[in-house]
């Protein structure tokens, strides 16, 4: 069973699998584990159905599974999926879709 089948975000939440942190600088310096910056780019693995306004109107999701996105550095909730740390963020915390 895949993680996507196990975790189904609610409302306007998005499950993101972060890309690996950079292990080398552009000049070739190898970074130790503690110096690696938390990634802000990841692949969308699952999305919620959208939110409901106070008037009862459905707010559609703009983000889709499979897209590569850039999201806010601080925020969201880390969740353990298998042996990996993934992140659940609110759709409004996604800054851009990478093409």
Q: What is the band of 33 on the pLDDT scale with cuts at 50, 70, 90?
A: low
Task: Report strand pairing: 51-52 vs 58-59.
Answer: antiparallel
Range of the domain at 73: 3-98
CATH of the domain at 48: 2.30.33.40
Q: What is the band of 25 on the pLDDT scale with cuts at 50, 70, 90?
A: low
Residue 90 to residues 23, 27, 58, 61, Cα–Cα distance (Å): 28, 35, 16, 11
Q: What does the pLDDT read at residue 2?
A: 47
Strand boundaries in 3-99, DSSP class E: 13-18, 41-47, 51-52, 58-59, 68-71, 77-81, 84-90, 94-98
Query: Average pLDDT of the chain?
Result: 83
> What is the total count of domains within the chain?
1
pTM of the model: 0.76
Task: Report strand pairing: 77-81 vs 68-71.
Answer: unpaired
Q: What does the pLDDT read at residue 27?
A: 65
Q: What is the band of 1 on the pLDDT scale with cuts at 50, 70, 90?
A: very low
What pLDDT, in 10s, does the model give residues 44-87? 999 999 999 899 999 899 999 999 999 998 878 898 888 888 99
* Higher per-residue pLDDT: 7 or 68: 68
CA-wise closest residue to 72 among 49, 42, 28: 42
């Amino acid at each position: 069973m895949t993680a996507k089948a196990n975790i189904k975000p609610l409302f306007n939440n998005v499950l993101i699998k972060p890309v690996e942190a950079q292990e080398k600088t552009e000049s070739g310096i190898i970074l130790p584990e503690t110096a690696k910056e938390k990634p802000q780019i990841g692949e969308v693995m699952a999305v919620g159905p959208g939110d409901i306004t106070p008037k009862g109107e459905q707010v559609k999701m703009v983000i889709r599974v499979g897209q590569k996105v850039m999201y806010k550095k601080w925020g969201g909730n880390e969740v353990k999926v298998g042996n990996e740390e993934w992140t659940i963020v609110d759709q409004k915390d996604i800054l851009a879709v990478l093409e």
